[in-house]
Structures are given as structure tokens and as C-alpha cells.
């Protein structure tokens, strides 16, 4: 059990957000050297690398949940969000990697959607995760469309169409 380490951290977290406390509790509960995770981070600092990653604000809250964490995590890397063009490139790459092609209409709609998502992004913006979710929806909608065909061609099987995009976005199909 990791209770001793978690209870040490809980005392200093009282004034911090619920999300940061939950994150800290999960970190400590999964730490490989429980129940004395923070002590072992220090004792094994020459042999151990611990990497935590997440949204900037939540990570800052997490680091401040316990004074011992702040002194042990002293290297930070910040990554900018992908641009709308980069997000579209990621979608096209996922299509290629999985042997799909985007129709021109689907590509145009994806470019518009990803540009809008980028422009309206907030602290919860999922970056490439947004693209992965879109890709998975497109594939799901494409398989529904293919299932309704009597004799799909090879091109049908690899094409993610504008209709698939509309279905993924919850838009009514054009007649």
C-alpha cells in the first residue's frame, strides 16, 4: 500500500485544486518505490528518471501540491500546440499509415474543422488527440457506409469521403 506516502502529500495539498490532489494521489499510488516514493526519488536520483506530462496548468498545480515534488522536478519542457496545418498533416498521415485516402471534399471539411478547433482552443484542447478522435470517427462512419453497400469496390474500402465526414460531424447527408 502507498498510504504513508500519500498521506504525507495530502497534508500539504489541502489548499490546492481537487484535480491536482487526484493527480498527485494517482502518481503516488503508482510510484514504483511506494510507500516512500518521494524519499526514493531523492535516494535514487542518479539512477532514476521520472517524467510526468500533462496540461501546463494542471502540471503546475501538481508540482506545487507537495514541496518535495517542486525541488525534485527541476527540468521543464513546454510544447506549443500544433497549428491547424500541422493537425491536418497529422490526419493525412494517419490516413496513409492506415491505408485510407481522404476525398478532396473530406479534406477541405477537415481543414476547416481543424482550423476552427485550433482558433477556439482552450486549456483542454487535445492537440493531436483531437485528430486521432476525428480519424476514428471517420473510419467508423466509413464502415457504416460500406456496410450498406451491396458490392463495395477497393476504392470504396479505402476512401474516407465527405459523407463520412458529415456523418462524423453529425451533419445531415446532402441529397
- 7-42 pLDDT tens trace: 333 333 333 466 666 666 666 555 544 445 667 677
Q: Give the C-alpha separation, 144 to 51, whole Å.
A: 40
| pLDDT given at position 53 | 77
Q: Which helix (H) or strand (E) holds 102?
A: strand 101-102
Q: Are 165 and 102 in contact (CB under 8 A)?
A: no
Written as nine digits, the cell of 14 is 489541502
Q: Output b/e per residue, 125-159; b: 16+ Cβ within 10 A.
A: eebeebbeebbebbbebbeebeeeeeeeeeeeeeb
Q: % helix / strand / coil in the chain, to the nearest 5?
A: 60, 0, 35
- Cα dist from 68 to 10, 28, 52, whole Å: 12, 12, 15
The mean predicted confidence, pLDDT, of the chain is 78
Distance between CA atoms of 152 and 133, rounded to whole angstroms? Answer: 25
Note the pTM of the prediction, 2 decimals.
Answer: 0.65
Round the CA-based radius of gyration of the chain to a whole number and report it: 23
Q: Is the pLDDT of residue 88 over 70?
A: yes
Amino acid at each position: 500500500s502507498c498510504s504513508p506516502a500519500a498521506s504525507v502529500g495530502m497534508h500539504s495539498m489541502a489548499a490546492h485544486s481537487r484535480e491536482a490532489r487526484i493527480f498527485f494521489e494517482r502518481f503516488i499510488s503508482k510510484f514504483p518505490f511506494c510507500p516512500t516514493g518521494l524519499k526514493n526519488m531523492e535516494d535514487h536520483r542518479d539512477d532514476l528518471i521520472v517524467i510526468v506530462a500533462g496540461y501546463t496548468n494542471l502540471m503546475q498545480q501538481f508540482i506545487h501540491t507537495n514541496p518535495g515534488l517542486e525541488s525534485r522536478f527541476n527540468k521543464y519542457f513546454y510544447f506549443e500546440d500544433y497549428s491547424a496545418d500541422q493537425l491536418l498533416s497529422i490526419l493525412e498521415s494517419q490516413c496513409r499509415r492506415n491505408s485510407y485516402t481522404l476525398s478532396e471534399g473530406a479534406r477541405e471539411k477537415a481543414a476547416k474543422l481543424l482550423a476552427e478547433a485550433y482558433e477556439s482552443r482552450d486549456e483542454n484542447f487535445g492537440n493531436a488527440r483531437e485528430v486521432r478522435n476525428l480519424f476514428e470517427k471517420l473510419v467508423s462512419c466509413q464502415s457504416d457506409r460500406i456496410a450498406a453497400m451491396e458490392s463495395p469496390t477497393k476504392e470504396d474500402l479505402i476512401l474516407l469521403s465527405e459523407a463520412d465526414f458529415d456523418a462524423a460531424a453529425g451533419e445531415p447527408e446532402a441529397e
